[in-house]
Amino acid sequence: MKLGNIDVPTPVVLSPMAGVTNWPFRVLCEQYGPSGLYVAEMITARALVARNPKALRLCRFDPSERVRSLQLYGVNPAIVEQAAKIVVDENMADHVDLNFGCPVPKVTRRGGGSALPWKTDLLQEIISRVVKVCSAANIPVTAKFRVGIDHEHETFLQAGHIAQEEGCAAVTLHARTTAEYYGGHSDWTRIAELKQELDIPVFGNGDIWGADDALAMIDQTGCDGVAIGRGCQGRPWLFADIKHAFEGSTQRINPTLGEVCAVIERHAELLTRFYDGDERMAVHDLRKHVAWYLKGFPVGGSTRKAFMECESLDDVRREIGRLDPNMVFPQRVVDKPRGRVRFAKKVHVPYGWLESRTTTHEERETLFGDDPMDAGY
Ligand SMILES: Cc1cc2nc3c(=O)[nH]c(=O)nc-3n(C[C@H](O)[C@H](O)[C@H](O)COP(=O)(O)O)c2cc1C
């Protein structure tokens, strides 16, 4: 596959995950995996424009990364455009993805993420402005979205057409609604539906837990590629399995606990570099990953607790040294769901949001009016 002038020899994507897909994790996945796309977690356009140091840190890449893929999130077209301009002017990325899929209440309540495609004018304007800025620098833009807000308010087909017409190089569909959040199942039939509608490549997303799921999704939906999120949490070697599967091999990786610990240690070291040598920040970031890495291993609660209390690389190494390296990988968690798996309690969108498919003047005022940075809009 080609996205603009970027070659994607194997159409496999590490799906952006906030708090997870910073460069240390991407590097681990990419080193196992095929030549695909390994996308950074979403960067809030406003934070990038304000040069928030945390946002800037998330925009960093390791020199080993083949393609620098950034994801931007924003509601105000003028601000997202400014963020895209920064990315282009400062040569921060080779590919820009736009987030229209986030279901988190604090995002949808502001009309962002998966609430946004309901307002077709806003969606169209954001994509068109970002594509204009990025295409001048030959940077392909893609868009990622969900099926809709709920089944009474589906948006994906229209969103796909808008993305295509405004010049996106591809789209990714996470085949759940906002209301479904991470519960139930990604409905792959919707991916097939979108694929039938569009000429640009469609990446299917949702519930790929093992390499065979990736092949099954392509087989069942005809999608052009797959995006993988939670399935690789604590299992970056899933990308090696996927690589093998795409090459027609049935070889799969089942690491021993010792091999998993070597990955944990490397992950901790890379995170320390990511945090400019701050081991404490690194091992705190590592905590959630350790919980995923150890999932299913009968190591006991006290071991898990000890990892959660680590404050330095030495602490991590000490805890690793206490584990039995020969313990085999727990088969009951291989290729099984992991990470978030719940439905939303309630969908939050701005007041009156669902009454019309386009934004009213008042809605725009409320969404962006009170911010001096938005004066140009
Ligand atoms: C912890 C977490 C953080 C996420 N952050 C983002 C994000 O920043 N941008 C985005 O587009 N999707 C985000 N997602 C959604 C995933 O990219 C993916 O679409 C979703 O998890 C479904 O794929 P999966 O079933 O393979 O996990 C996140 C998901 C999780 C679990």
pLDDT at residue 370, as a whole number: 59
Residue 18 labeled ligand binder: yes
Mean pLDDT per segment of 10 residues, for the chain of length 377 residues? 95 98 98 97 96 96 98 96 98 98 95 97 98 98 98 98 98 98 96 98 98 98 98 98 97 97 98 98 98 96 97 98 97 92 90 95 84 47
Q: Where are the alpha helices (DSSP H) in the chain?
A: 23-32, 45-49, 53-58, 77-89, 105-108, 120-135, 156-165, 188-197, 211-221, 238-246, 257-274, 279-293, 301-308, 313-321, 361-368
Mutating to test ligand 1, I would choose from 12, 13, 14, 17 the residue with most ligand atoms within 8 A of its C-beta, which is 17
Print burial letters for 143-156: b (CB count within 10 Å at least 16), e (below 16): bbbbbbbeeebbbb
Terminal-residue alpha carbon distance, the chain: 36
CA distance 141 to 96: 5
Residue 144 labeled ligand binder: yes
pLDDT at residue 376, as a whole number: 41
Residues 159, 160, 162, 163: is their CA dihedral positive or negative?
Answer: positive
CA distance 180 to 151: 10
- Closest to 155 (Cα-Cα) out of 346, 352, 17, 354: 354
CB of 340 within 6 A of ligand 1: the answer is: yes
Domain boundaries defined on the chain: 9-250, 257-329
Q: Which two tokens stand for residue 286?
A: 């590592």
CA distance 18 to 145: 15
Residue 17 labeled ligand binder: yes
Phi, psi angles (nearest 5°) of residue 204: -95, 145
Amino acid code (one letter) for 229: G
> Is the separation of the CB atoms in 234 and 338 below 8 Å?
yes
pLDDT at residue 97, as a whole number: 98
Nearest 5 degrees, angle CA 250-CA 39-CA 21?
A: 90
CB of 229 within 6 A of ligand 1: the answer is: yes
Alpha carbon 52 to chain centroid, angstroms: 20
Locate tokens 């240690």: which residue? 265
Q: What is the 3-state secondary structure (H, E, C) of 252-277?
A: CCCCCHHHHHHHHHHHHHHHHHHCCC
- Closest to 280 (Cα-Cα) out of 247, 250, 313, 318: 313
pLDDT at residue 371, as a whole number: 54
Residue 20's DSSP bridge partners are none
pLDDT at residue 49, as a whole number: 96
Q: Is 168 a catalytic residue?
A: no
Please name the fold of domain 9-250: TIM Barrel (3.20.20)
CB contact set of 53 (below 8 Å; sequence gap of 6+): none
CB of 17 within 6 A of ligand 1: the answer is: yes
What is the Cα Rg of the chain in Å?
A: 21
Q: Separation of 107 CA from ligand 1 center, angstroms?
A: 14
